[in-house]
Amino acid sequence: MKLPRTRAWVVVGGLALAGGLIMAGASCETPAPPEQPDPENIDDVIRSAAATDEALVALLAATPKNDPTQAAVLDHPVPGGVLPGSPAAEFAWHVTQSTGARAPAPAGERGSGREPAWAAALERLGFVGVAHAHGAPMNGRGYLLVVSNAAGAPLLRVFTDKLAYTPGDAVWGSMVKAGTLRAVVINAVFENNRIAEGGGPFQGVPSDFTVE
């Protein structure tokens, strides 16, 4: 039976509306998955000493292992510690062994790890990620210090071959405002910018602390 033209348009329009509602409902029930972090996005990471971009990318692309004998432990700040708002605190750590003692630091790891004056000046001007020129490849143990706020958002990421780091004024100021913080150090052993066989990366022991 042939429907009148007006009634036919009503039927077609109703079917189109119903289809749109069904599709809208389906899209609400199955939201698109969140974007995964890009391991090569290192613009916010401060690189210091002999750390290289290539080694950092390799570290971020790998899944850290839980090995208590190779975990980096924060010496400062200690878990539950309360730090004054000034001056900026130094973050210091060590790597444990099966005995629980400190692992001896290679010659290249010794030093305060304090941010150089030129790097601090760049940070104050807003240049947080300091990329290193492609030079000598990274060898030995490297450390990724991550300090996050209570919501888990990173406020500081530093990749270094040292056992300590002191943030500049701008980054430390953001930590003072955050209050409750968590610091953790992921480490790995590198051979020519690549993670050595059996060299991790190794998950660190987190340290929760607050800044007054």
Would residue 37 count as lying in a domain?
A: no
What is the structure's pLDDT at 103? 42
**Structural domain boundaries, residue 18:** 1-32
Instruction: Give me the pLDDT at residue 134, please.
Output: 53
Task: Tell me: do 104 and 189 sit in the same domain.
Answer: yes
**Confidence at residue 22, expressed as pLDDT on a 0 to 100 scale:** 43
pLDDT in the model for residue 184: 96
Q: How far apart are CA 162 and CA 178, in angstroms?
A: 26
| Structure tokens, 184 | 């953790």
Q: Which of 203, 47, 30 is nearest to 113 (CA)?
A: 47
- Asked whether residue 40 is assigned to any structural domain, the reply reads no
Task: Calculate helix-pair angle for 169-178, 117-124, nearest 10 degrees.
Answer: 60
HSE toward the beta carbon, residue 105, CA cutoff 13 A: 16
H/E segment holding residue 145: strand 140-149
Per-residue pLDDT of the chain (212 residues; tens, 9 = 90+): 554 554 444 444 454 444 444 444 444 444 443 333 444 578 889 998 789 999 999 999 999 999 999 999 999 999 999 999 899 999 999 998 733 334 444 434 333 344 444 344 444 443 444 444 456 899 999 999 999 998 899 999 999 999 999 999 889 998 988 888 999 999 999 999 999 999 999 999 999 999 98
- Does 8 fall in a domain? yes
**188: which 2 tokens?**
């790995």
d(CA 61, CA 70): 19
Q: What are phi and psi of 42, to 5 degrees?
A: -120, 20
Q: Clarify whether residues 126 and 155 are in a common domain.
A: yes
> Which tokens go with 179?
């209050």
**Same domain, yes or no, for 107 and 134?**
yes
Q: What total of structural domains would you count in the chain?
A: 2
- Per-residue pLDDT, 210: 92
* Residues 117 and 185 placed together within one structural domain of the fold: yes
83 and 141 in a single domain? The answer is: yes
Residue keyed to tokens 């270094």: 160
**Between the CA of residue 43 and those of 67, 90, 99, 130, 212, what are the distances in Å?**
29, 23, 38, 8, 29
Cβ atoms of 143 and 91 closer than 8 Å: no
pLDDT at 41: 72
Looking at the structure, tell me whether residues 172 and 97 fall in a common domain. Answer: yes
182 and 77 in one domain? yes
Same domain, 20 and 64: no
Per-residue pLDDT, 107: 39
Model confidence, pTM: 0.67
Q: How confident is the model at residue 212, as a pLDDT?
A: 83
* Rounded Cα distance, 52 and 46, in Å: 10
Please name the residue that has the structure tokens 């939201």.
31
| 199 assigned to some structural domain | yes
* 64 and 163 housed in the same domain: yes
